[in-house]
Each structure stands twice: as C-alpha cells, then as structure tokens.
Amino acid sequence: MTPISPEARANVHLIDHPLVQHKLSLMRNKEASTNSFRRLLNELSSLMAYEVTRDMALQDVEIQTPLETMKAKMIDGKKLVFVSILRAGNGILDGVLSVVPGARVGHIGLYRDPKTLQAVEYYFKMPKNMEERDIVVVDPMLATGNSAAAAVARLKECKPKSIKFLCLLTCPEGINTLYKEHPDVQIFTAAIDRELNSHGYILPGLGDAGDRIFGTQ
C-alpha cells in the first residue's frame, strides 16, 4: 500500500457527513441500477458542493426587506466555474449547479496517448475572463491523478484566481500525484480508498464511474 505523504494529506478535505457516507455506500454496491447510481451521485454532489464552497467570499448587497433596508450577505455565484473532466465529471454537474445555480461551467476532455502515455487534450471550452474566477474541477474518481494533474496544468494557463478539486473517491496514489504537481490545489472527497489496481481502478472503489453513470458497461 502506498502511504500518503503528510503534506499531501494536509491538502485533503474528507467530507465525512453521515448522509454523504451513506449515499456513497449505496453507490458502491454493484447492484445499484444506473438510475439510482445517477440519482445518488446527484444528491451527493449537492451535499459536497456545500463543503467545497464553504470559503466563498460574500459581499454586502443592499436589499429591502418588507420592513426596512439592510446590507445582506450574498455570493457572486457567477465568479465560480465548475470544470468537468469528461466524461464522468458531467455526472457531478447537475448536483453542484442545484446549489450554485449562477456558476459557470467549463469542460475539458483528455485522453492518454497509448505510445507516449501523455495526456492529450481533445476538448477545452471555458467561460470568458477566467482570471477573475475561482475554479472547482469535478471528476468522480481521482485515481492515478495523471489526468487531474494534466487538467489542472492546462487550467492554470487561464490564470484563474484559485483551483480546487472535487471528487467522490480517491486513493493514496491520486492524492500524492496531484499534490506533487499542484501543491496549491485542495482536494475535496468523500473517501480515501485503499489503493489502485494494475488497471488504474480504485479499490475497493465503485467500478467505472462513467460506465455506471451513463449505463455503458
């Protein structure tokens, strides 16, 4: 078993709320149907969105209550961008957008070149003015960490204000890799599983997240 370095572990926010843990266990069960897997992912993503947005800046906005005028605290959801790593990241979008409906959405698609093993970008579409925005990259599984690290490196070219990484599950290998390449990126996850297998799957994990979300297994 690969140990997680203490510095890397300090970057991980484990979301251990009982509702999150319960729903994750239901998702891990191989008997869960595509329908319930997707519904649970949606619910979990909303719950996790609360944690990942906990430090969002608030501004005072003058509003009129039925009784008087006051300065009320409001967030500017439009400054936040959820970036989905295709394709499984799309399964997280509905849930997080139900909590922050004003957020923008970007998509990044990467595949691994079988010869060079390098991540190759096949799709990249972001909102304008990325230098004004905070990014939350979403992908259900932080496994080897290679595509996450490549996606973050590409996003840094847009010079956003900050980047966080939100996943359902990760493992020591994924945490160490992302930390090594991007020590400034905080990871939010519902579980740190034991290890990666030789095919790059997380154990005990939940299988192929994309296949389970889209019913393509």
Instruction: Give the span between the Cα atoms of 170 and 190, in whole angstroms.
Output: 8
Active site residue 208: yes
CB atoms within 10 A of CB 119: 18
Phi, psi of 14 (to 5 degrees): -90, 120
Q: How do beta strands 186-189 and 12-14 pair?
A: parallel
Residue nearer to ligand URA on the CB measure, 160 or 205: 205
Count of helices and strands (H, E) across the chain: 7, 14
Q: Is residue 209 near ligand URA by the rule CB under 6 A?
A: yes
Residue nearer to ligand URA on the CB measure, 141 or 150: 141
At closest approach, how far in Å is the CB of 90 from ligand URA? 13
Number of residues that bind ligand URA (CB under 6 A): 10
Active site residue 112: yes
Active site residue 211: yes
User: 14: which 2 tokens?
Assistant: 């484990």
Indicate the burial class of 48 (C-beta count within 10 angstroms; 0-12, 13-18, 19 or more).
buried
Indicate which residue of 116, 133, 193, 216 is catalytic.
Answer: 116
Active site residue 39: no
User: 154: which 2 tokens?
Assistant: 């590409």
Binding segment (CB under 6 A) for ligand URA, from list 50-58, 61-69, 159-167, 198-206: 198-206
At closest approach, how far in Å is the CB of 7 from ligand URA? 24
Residue nearer to ligand URA on the CB measure, 116 or 217: 217
From the list 34, 210, 213, 215, which residue makes contact with ligand URA (rule: CB under 6 A)? Answer: 210
Cβ atoms of residues 45 and 23 within 8 Å: no
Residue nearer to ligand URA on the CB measure, 158 or 175: 175
Residues 109-168 contacting ligand URA, CB under 6 A: 141, 143
Binding segment (CB under 6 A) for ligand URA, from list 57-65, 79-87, 123-131, 196-204: 196-204
Q: Is residue 201 near ligand URA by the rule CB under 6 A?
A: yes
At closest approach, how far in Å is the CB of 208 from ligand URA? 4
> 3-state DSSP: the chain helix, strand, coil percent, rounded to 5?
35, 30, 35
The set of long-range contacts for 113-119, using a CB threshold of 8 Å and a minimum separation of 24, is: 119/146, 119/147, 119/150, 119/151
Residue nearer to ligand URA on the CB measure, 106 or 205: 205
Residues near ligand URA, by CB under 6 A? 88, 141, 143, 200-202, 205, 208-210
